[in-house]
Amino acid sequence: MNKLFFLFIIGVVFSTNAKQVSVPLASNGDGEIVVIASIQQTDNYSGQGLLTKKAPSKELQALQQYYRFAKADNTKQLLTTLFEGDGTRANISKELKRRPDKFSNYNKLSALELNNNYLWGEYAVLSLDWGINGKAMSWYDAVYCSQQRRCAVSDMMVRGSDNSGMVSSVIALAEHKPHFKSTKSFDFTVDYFPDYGVNKVNPVTVKFDLTPLASKVTFSKGSSAEVNVNKDKGLANINKYIQAVWQHSKDTTEFWHNYDPQVLIPVMYGEQDMSIKYYTATAYMQFIGNISEIKFVMTLKTKETIYYIAKVKHAEFSNYMLFAVDKKSHKLKHSYDEPLFSSVLTSHEFYNKLGIAKF
């Protein structure tokens, strides 16, 4: 069965039978889950057909109307079903001027059935089964409903936002992987919301099993004092790398796992106005050279990587920073683990929560 994963959003659906479902994002070498993501799910109207039967709720009626206009390629009426508040109507209107045939193939859609409804912020993301030419395809759509219950379609997930890609991946896992229940306490949690929303409701929550270092380790530029890394080989390699950079060494390749000068290293730059920046190994050395103090406080241990969390004093700002170290070689890694996990570790929300926690 062909599976397409696509997201269209349509607003707020407050359900009395919503439940929280959790999926694992990372585990350690012993198979224990160390990072999980949770999202609200409701099975309201599960199995409901939307092309031939009357939709049973306002949010599904909005979706049904949108698809009927799309199948008829009636773009004038279709625009009236789109949400204005987050810019969807303006976006689609502009796109139709460039591509007037944008919806011309929707007439091939022969079936549309609702599977699950996920709540994120004031949006509801809908999991659907499409029927096209006798083949079934998985599809994600959605609904935004105002307090006056006027529901409209949004393209928020399609055009992308800081967190939409991460959330779409979490939903895909929730749809196709067994849900996860843990008795472990995850003390460090980060909430993710859509860019648009009046109220902070229904976050996607990511929980981390962080481990504090037995004793805080601080590297200070210009200090001659020997640093005790407590037999931590990864931390010892980081220390050697940092000292080499501070001493203006031109070759630091020995401290890297599978060194590649072309691979970009993510760094959250700034303090109040943060932005993720990606550095080549050479540019990364220049960045490290402008740091005067690095205090290591926590670790996150996954199957292949140890992430050391440190508070740094840079020439232009103070903030937290991650150093990824390969578990086997104990050497620095250029990039984080797979894309979903990386998107979490490079998010503003993650770094904001580190700042609040003040380890």
pLDDT of 196 higher than 80: yes
What's the pLDDT tens digit per position in 33-91?
Answer: 999 999 999 877 778 888 888 888 888 899 999 999 999 999 999 999 999 999 999 99
75: region left, alpha or beta (phi > 0 left; psi from -120 to 50 alpha) = alpha
160: region left, alpha or beta (phi > 0 left; psi from -120 to 50 alpha) = left
What's the pLDDT tens digit per position in 318-334?
Answer: 999 999 999 999 999 99
pLDDT of residue 6: 43
pLDDT of residue 358: 73
Yes or no: say if 264 and 272 are a contact pair by the CB < 8 Å rule.
no
pLDDT of residue 216: 81
Q: Which residues contact 119 (CB under 8 A, 6 or more apart)?
A: 12, 13, 14, 15, 18, 39, 40, 41, 42, 125, 201, 202
* Residue 74 identity: N
How distant is the alpha carbon of residue 175 from its chain centre?
16
Q: Percent of the chain having pLDDT more than 70?
A: 92
Q: How far is CA 233 from CA 239, 246, 255, 300, 359, in A?
A: 10, 20, 12, 15, 22
Of the candidates 335, 326, 7, the one whose C-alpha atom is nearest the C-alpha of residue 155 is 7
pLDDT of residue 182: 67
Tell me the average pLDDT across 284-297: 94
The Cα 190–Cα 178 span in angstroms is 22
The length of the chain in residues reads 359
pLDDT of 254 higher than 70: yes
pLDDT of 201 higher than 80: yes
The Cα 151–Cα 67 span in angstroms is 14
Yes or no: say if 315 and 292 are a contact pair by the CB < 8 Å rule.
yes
pLDDT of residue 267: 93
Task: Report the 3 state secondary structure along 189-225.
Answer: EEEECCCCCCCCCCCEEEEECCEEEEEEEEEECCCCC
pLDDT of 19 higher than 80: yes
Of the candidates 339, 354, 19, the one whose C-alpha atom is nearest the C-alpha of residue 166 is 339
What pLDDT band is residue 162 in, cutting at 50, 70 and 90?
A: low
What's the pLDDT tens digit per position in 83-127?
Answer: 999 999 999 999 999 999 999 999 999 999 988 889 999 998 888
Q: Which residue has the higher pLDDT, 216 or 200?
A: 200
Tell me the average pLDDT across 200-207: 94
Yes or no: say if 267 and 310 are a contact pair by the CB < 8 Å rule.
no
pLDDT of 165 higher than 90: no
Give pTM, 2 decimals: 0.88
Most confident residue range from 113-117, 143-147, 282-286? 282-286
Across the chain, mean pLDDT equals 87
Yes or no: say if 32 and 24 are a contact pair by the CB < 8 Å rule.
no
Yes or no: say if 220 and 313 are a contact pair by the CB < 8 Å rule.
no
Yes or no: say if 201 and 286 are a contact pair by the CB < 8 Å rule.
no
Of the candidates 185, 174, 246, 177, the one whose C-alpha atom is nearest the C-alpha of residue 211 is 185
Joined together, the tokens standing for residue 276 give 């993720």
Of the candidates 74, 72, 45, the one whose C-alpha atom is nearest the C-alpha of residue 60 is 45
pLDDT of residue 234: 94
pLDDT of 3 higher than 50: no
pLDDT of 1 higher than 70: no
What's the pLDDT tens digit per position in 213-230?
Answer: 877 889 899 876 567 777
The Cα 277–Cα 182 span in angstroms is 34
For the ranges 80-84, 138-142, 264-268, which has the lowest average pLDDT?
Answer: 138-142
Q: Which residue has the higher pLDDT, 52 or 281?
A: 281
The Cα 205–Cα 118 span in angstroms is 13
DSSP secondary structure letters along 6-35: -B-EE-----TT-EEEEEEEEE-TTS-EEE
For the ranges 5-19, 94-108, 145-159, 188-202, which has the lowest average pLDDT?
Answer: 5-19
What's the pLDDT tens digit per position in 22-35?
Answer: 999 988 888 889 99
The Cα 175–Cα 155 span in angstroms is 21
What pLDDT band is residue 183 in, cutting at 50, 70 and 90?
A: low
Beta strands 318-326 and 265-269, pairing class: unpaired
pLDDT of residue 190: 96
